[in-house]
Amino acid sequence: MLLLTISRIIGHNPMPPAPTAKSARPLSPHLQIYRPQLTSVMSILHRLTGIALALGLPVFVVWLMGLAAGPQTYGMLIDLFKTPVGQILLCGWSWAFFYHFCTGIRHLLWDSGFFLGIKGVYATGWIAFGVSTLVTAAVWAHLLEWI
């Protein structure tokens, strides 16, 4: 009894619930079991785009620092952004931004008590997907035309 208490306190479980063939206890279904749904996919993408944008924020800082350093440094930096890798990254970040922006507003609406029904969740989901993709396409059509 004392041993069990100590092992509980230090976080060691003396009987690990490892699901073997002998003791096949039911496990709660996880990501790879469920069929992907709009709701789950969008939730995961909201998190992934958030992480991507957090990793992109230092690039914005570098852009500001390049601008502060002067025209030569700034020119070199812009050349770097214009390489194929730079363009692909910027394109990805722009979609991530517009997606996270739209689904973020969706989250704020949920927090305020709107669109919490199945219909509202799906409608706002498709709208967020559509708007973010269309705006990204429009932005890049505009940018590529200018370049």
Nearer to other proteins, 74 or 115 (CB): 74
131 in contact with other proteins (CB under 8 A): no
Q: Look up residue 43 and give its two tokens.
A: 């939730």
Nearer to other proteins, 27 or 118 (CB): 27
The Cα–Cα gap between 73 and 71 comes to 6
* H helical segments located in the chain: 2-9, 38-69, 71-81, 84-111, 118-146
138 in contact with other proteins (CB under 8 A): no
Cβ contacts of 99 within 8 Å, gap of 6 or more: 45, 46, 49, 128, 129, 132, 133
Cβ contacts of 147 within 8 Å, gap of 6 or more: 82
Q: Which of 3, 33, 54, 118 binds other proteins (CB under 8 A)?
A: 54
67 in contact with other proteins (CB under 8 A): yes
Map the footprint of other proteins across residues 81-110, applying CB under 8 A.
97, 101, 104-105, 107-108
Minimum distance of other proteins from residue 99's CB (angstroms): 13
Handedness of CA 117, 121, 124, 126 (dihedral sign): negative
60 in contact with other proteins (CB under 8 A): yes
Contact footprint for other proteins (CB under 8 A): 47, 50-51, 53-54, 57-58, 60-61, 64-65, 67-68, 71, 74-75, 78, 97, 101, 104-105, 107-108, 111, 142-143, 146
